[in-house]
Each structure stands twice: as structure tokens, then as C-alpha cells.
């Protein structure tokens, strides 16, 4: 990496949790300057505008999130255990760190009517997340682990929506109870579809 690339990456990594916690509109360049200890010119020398930093921050947050999820899932062999690892990640993650919650939920809620570029990236990330679930179910069906009647696409939409809803409620109520309940319900459904 060149010095300019390292500086750009440094700004993205420092700005990402700020955007995730304070929102797109709520994050000021002065917040990024304070976090990076860079002058305004140092920030804008690497990015065209705040929207570009925001997009790169979202990309960084979701790439990091996907890597953490994939790491947990890849450590498992069966499709059922991979799905359980994904659910365990979300059940346990809220308690372990305070990064501002799920970037998909945070950025998507704010960008749906205000930022078409971020909205499109959130849409792509939602589809990617649902594909991860659906493809895991499909591989489980092909391997004979799951019943052939287990609808991978429908379950993926349901699982993703329930997790995101549980994240929102858990964060607002400052309690992991909803997430624990939702992950247990989804694990029971997965187990019911096991051969």
C-alpha cells in the first residue's frame, strides 16, 4: 500500500464506527477530523466529499462483518452447524461489542429516501446476506442433511428479516432477550427440517 492508500484506509476505519453510530446526516467532517487527527484538507485530500467517505465506511463495515460471519461458518462442516454458527454470531455479537449495531440496518434506514447510492449498496448487501443463508440450505439439501421440502429462498428471507428485527429491538431495549428468542426459534425450524 502506498502512503496515500494507507491514509485513505485509516480515514475509512476511523470514520466507519462514527457513521454507524451517529448516522449519515449526524456525522460531520469535524467528527472524522477529530477521530483521525487530520485537518480538513487531509480528509478531503483523500475523498471527494462526505458521501464518498460514507460509502467507503459502509463497504468497510459490511466487508468486516461478512468476514467475521464467514470465519464462524467456515469452521463448521455441516450445513446445519454453519447456520447455527451464523445465528450464534448474531446472538453473541450484540453483547460483545458496541460498534453501533448492524450497518445494514443503520445505513438502510437512513438512506432509503435520501441517498440512492447507499440504498443500492444496502440492497446488494441484503441480497448477499440472504444468498449466504439460501446457498447454505441448498448445499444441505444436496448433501442429504435437510428435507427436500425445506424452501431455501423463503427461509433465507425469513431468517434475515427476523435477525435484523431482533437487532433493532435488542438495541432499543438494551437487552439481548429478543435476539436469544429469535435465534432459538430459527434453530428449531432448521432442526425440524433436518433429515
- Per residue in 5-23, pLDDT (tens digit) is 999 999 999 999 999 999 9
Q: Which residues pair with 194 in a beta bridge?
A: 146
Give per-residue pLDDT as tens, 43-92.
Answer: 999 999 999 999 999 999 999 999 999 999 999 999 999 999 999 999 98
Residue 2 backbone class (left: φ over 0; alpha: ψ -120 to 50; beta: rest) = beta
For the chain, how many helices (H) and strands (E)? 9, 0
8 A C-beta contact, residue 105 and residue 94: no
Threshold 0.85, pTM exceeds = yes
Amino acid at each position: 500500500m502506498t502512503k496515500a492508500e494507507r491514509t485513505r484506509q485509516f480515514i475509512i476505519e476511523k470514520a466507519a464506527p462514527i457513521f454507524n453510530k451517529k448516522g449519515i446526516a449526524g456525522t460531520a467532517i469535524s467528527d472524522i477530523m477529530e477521530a483521525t487527527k487530520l485537518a480538513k484538507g487531509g480528509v478531503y485530500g483523500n475523498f471527494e466529499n462526505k458521501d464518498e467517505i460514507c460509502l467507503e465506511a459502509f463497504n468497510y463495515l459490511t466487508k468486516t462483518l461478512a468476514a467475521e460471519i464467514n470465519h464462524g461458518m467456515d469452521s463448521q462442516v455441516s450445513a446445519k452447524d454453519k447456520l447455527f454458527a451464523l445465528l450464534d454470531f448474531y446472538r453473541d455479537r450484540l453483547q460483545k461489542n458496541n460498534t453501533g449495531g448492524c450497518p445494514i440496518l443503520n445505513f438502510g434506514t437512513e438512506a432509503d429516501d435520501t441517498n440512492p447510492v447507499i440504498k443500492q449498496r444496502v440492497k446488494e448487501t441484503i441480497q448477499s446476506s440472504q444468498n449466504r443463508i439460501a446457498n447454505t440450505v441448498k448445499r444441505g439439501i444436496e448433501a442429504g442433511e435437510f428435507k427436500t421440502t425445506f424452501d431455501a429462498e423463503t427461509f433465507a428471507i425469513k431468517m434475515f428479516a427476523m435477525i435484523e428485527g431482533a437487532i433493532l429491538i435488542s438495541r432499543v431495549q438494551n437487552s439481548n432477550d429478543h435476539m436469544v428468542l429469535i435465534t432459538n426459534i430459527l434453530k428449531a425450524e432448521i432442526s425440524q427440517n433436518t433429515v
